[in-house]
Amino acid sequence: MGKCGNVSKNRRRGGFTLTELLMVSVISTIVIGGVSAALVQSLRAWRAAGVRAELHMDLERSMERMRHDLRLSSVGIGLMAFYPEDAAAYTAISFPLATPDADGLLPRDGAGNIIWDTTIIYHVRPGSPDELIRSRFHPRNPDASPSDIYDQLVKVVHSGNIQAIQDAAMPGERGSSEIIFRNLVNLVFRPPEMRFDGYAPEYERARTINWGSIVLGKGVHELTFTVERKNAASNGYKLGLDRFALSYSGSPREAEWFLPEHSRPSAPYYRARTSGGSMIAEDMSSHGASWSGLSQLTYTPNFEVAGEAGSKISFEVHNDIWNDTTFDNPPGEDAWNCKRTVDRSFATQSPFIPDIVIAMEEGLSWEAENVTDVAPESMTVSHGTTANVLHGGTSEPASILMNGSYARFSFSAGSNHNLHVRNLVFGEKGSGGTIVPGTEQSVGFYGGFSYALVHSGMSLWTDWIRYEIDQDTSYVMQWDRRNILNQPPTDQTDARVWNVADGSIQSYLDGIPTSQIVALTAMEVRAPSNAMYRSGVFDTRVASPSYTRLSWTQVEHGANGSIGMQVRSSDYPDMRDADWYPSGFHLTNNGNSNISAINGGRFVQYQAHFSVAGTHTQLPVLRDVTLAWEAPTGIVDLVVDLARGPDYGIITADVNGQSFIRGVEIDLEIFREGPFGFENMAGSTEVRPLNTGR
């Protein structure tokens, strides 16, 4: 027994059992497998990063190559061509190139014109993979017609090898080509002379489009949109125009304001006419909130003349004005007792569209439900005195939202019994639940009664009182909880109650503080006596503009409201050295106020002063402000917000009969298969050739 025991011990000291070896083997396999999987995953990630890096290098190299060539090019008939013909987006481009001399200058002929000595063509040859190819023809044939240039482009696009590209050379030219890179490629060129296809299955606002550049001087210019044809899928030729900018400052103009029947703004800034069609203002708010001013101008050409000379809409565009119509470009800087809001009361008048205005504030200024998230309850209490606290902006929770010159109050009964309210007194909060002497004012019901019965589950408003409400001040509403007879069975009253979770004192019941709001539901105010709206600072982009005129459209809704204006300008965007003009009073000639007396600073700003008297039920409304100055001659862009729809056509645009100059837009996307699937890299750029002046 002893020997056997010793032998067993020796064996355990000298080796492993088969089970132990199997366990070690399994664990090792798991560990090695995990390490191998992690290593494989890391290698795949490393390879994917390498693919993305190569794609990025190809993208940057090719985009910079095309940018460099196009900067030394030009647009115009007989110069630049796109393939395929009459497309909205093109996959190949041909353009002239001028070779700088040793001093970096472009060679010119005796008349001062640039000598275009080379033709460059970019296109993608499909394959596995695709190839981005740059073809070069030198010296350029100076006698080539526009059709010759396009035919050469077609031959290059359809070439399958370098010999076919060389064969596309015109007389006197030598052709060559180089492969910029090999990859799966999507390449799109958008031409300088643009058309806009307005077709879409549903009505939508298109993205903002820079249509191109043109040289404009001061004064009035005619911007014309022509409906040329329509997409095969469209069932109409309409044009939907939200707004556009065509001036030295780039100030936007709301298109619907150009309707002849529109009552604003003051002439002569907005005039339009149609030929071969009709225009209306259309409320687009049901199609989304992206339309500026919620509306657009819709032009419908006559079907039988669409695409002919007559299917046009023309706008008289002043260079330059700032027309603040939606009060958000730039956004307002400051406002008290007024706000930017949508006023639909004008929709009953032509042109029947909603209006974004600056209006004096009025409405619910305090609500019990805003002070607590706790659901209201019913509370039955015996006769006694209640003092409700309405906290102002300097107290917590601050719940009075706006100032006012008139106020009224709502009381709510509980769900078990009626509510009895008697002898209401309102005033500024003193110590505890008391009212500061001299600030108190009685509040009645039904035109002067001191008592009211509010039926179970119902609410009741008091009469209006003339009282200046300051949202930074706390107030107390004190009242008795008993009926006028003060006898059973009405010795109890039932109130709607809000329990305030944070412990703030909201009411006093018989002089005892309680964290509740008892029966008092809301306070409504009418607008205060005065208000002020200060605009944002507008950049005219002119060093020393000569300001000429300030006009605005106001609706006073009666004889008791008015609006006055002040304006200032500065060379600094923070207006640090600007004084308001006029300094001691306000301009009130809303049709035509001369502002030539203000200093000619680049940045300009206005402020509107509102005042109201009487019962404050007829309040002034500011609908728009227009400020004019003389712009210098220079290059301006047409930036336009158009709409799309199932019955919209294809349009072009010009100014004073001249076409816009636009840079060539390039969209390039490269794909390559990597360890995790296809990787891609995309880029977009717009290049202004030489004769755009940019």
Do 515 and 397 belong together in one domain? yes
Do 187 and 122 reside in the same domain of the chain? yes
Are 94 and 174 found together in one domain?
yes
Examine residue 31 and state whether it is found in any structural domain, yes or no: no
Most confidently modeled range among 11-15, 339-343, 370-374, 482-486? 339-343
The radius of gyration of the chain's CA atoms, rounded to the nearest angstrom, is: 38
The pLDDT score that the predictor gives to residue 107 is 81
Contacts of 632 (CB under 8 A, 6+ apart): 217, 218, 248, 542
In this model, does residue 5 exceed pLDDT 50? no
Cβ atoms of 376 and 405 within 8 Å: the answer is no
> Residue 46 has what pLDDT?
62
The beta-carbon contacts of 62-67 under 8 Å, at least 24 apart in sequence, are 62/132, 62/180, 62/181, 62/668, 63/666, 63/668, 63/683, 63/685, 65/134, 65/180, 66/122, 66/666, 66/687, 67/666, 67/685, 67/687
CA 53 to chain centre: 35
Q: Does residue 280 lie within any of the structural domains?
A: yes
Which pLDDT does position 496 carry in this prediction?
94
Tell me, yes or no, whether 507 lies in a domain. yes
Q: Are residues 452 and 371 in the same domain?
A: yes
- Domain boundary (526, 558, 593) is at 526
Which pLDDT tens digit goes with each residue over 213-233?
Answer: 777 888 899 999 999 888 889
Comparing C-alpha atoms, which of 60, 70, 58 is closest to residue 179?
Answer: 58
- Domains held by the chain: number: 4
CA 445 – CA 449 distance, rounded (Å):
5
Identity (one letter) of the amino acid at 646? P
Does residue 306 share a domain with residue 204?
Answer: yes
pLDDT at 7: 44
Query: Which tens digits make up the pLDDT trace of 195-214?
Result: 888 999 999 988 788 887 77
Task: Dihedral sign for Cα 261, 266, 267, 272, please.
Answer: negative
Last residue of a domain, one of 503, 526, 549: 526
Residues 89 and 127 in one domain: yes
Indicate which CATH number applies to the domain containing 581: 2.60.120
Closest CA to 632 of 223, 316, 219: 219
Q: Indicate whether 52 belongs to any domain.
A: no
Q: Looking at 526, 547, 580, which one is the last position of a domain?
A: 526
Residue 581 parent element (H or E) = none
Q: Exposure string (b/e) for 35-61, b if CB count within 10 Å is 16 or more?
A: eeeeeeeeeeeeeeeebeebbeebbee
Examine residue 29 and state whether it is found in any structural domain, yes or no: no
Q: Which residue has the higher pLDDT, 220 or 673?
A: 220
Whether 379 and 514 map to the same domain: the answer is: yes
Q: Residue 536 and residue 327: Cα distance in Å, rounded?
A: 8
Say if residue 617 is in the same domain as residue 642: no
Residue 256: inside a domain, yes or no?
A: yes
247/154 same-domain check:
no
Average pLDDT over residues 178-189: 82
269 and 290: one domain? yes
% of the chain exceeding 90 in pLDDT: 40
pLDDT at 3: 46
pTM given for the model: 0.67
- Tell me the residue ranges of DSSP E strands in 512-560: 512-514, 516-518, 520-526, 530-534, 538-539, 546-555
Provide the percentage of residues in the chain whose pLDDT is more than 70.
82
Q: In this structure, is residue 438 part of a structural domain?
A: yes
Q: Are residues 77 and 167 in the same domain?
A: yes
Please tell me the least confidently modeled range out of 157-166, 408-417, 466-475, 653-662. 653-662
Do 372 and 507 belong to one domain? Answer: yes
Q: Which domain holds residue 578?
A: 340-361+529-630
| Residues recorded for the chain | 694
Task: Give the CA-trace dihedral at 203, 209, 214, 216, to 10 degrees.
Answer: 70
Residue 257 domain-assigned (yes or no) = yes
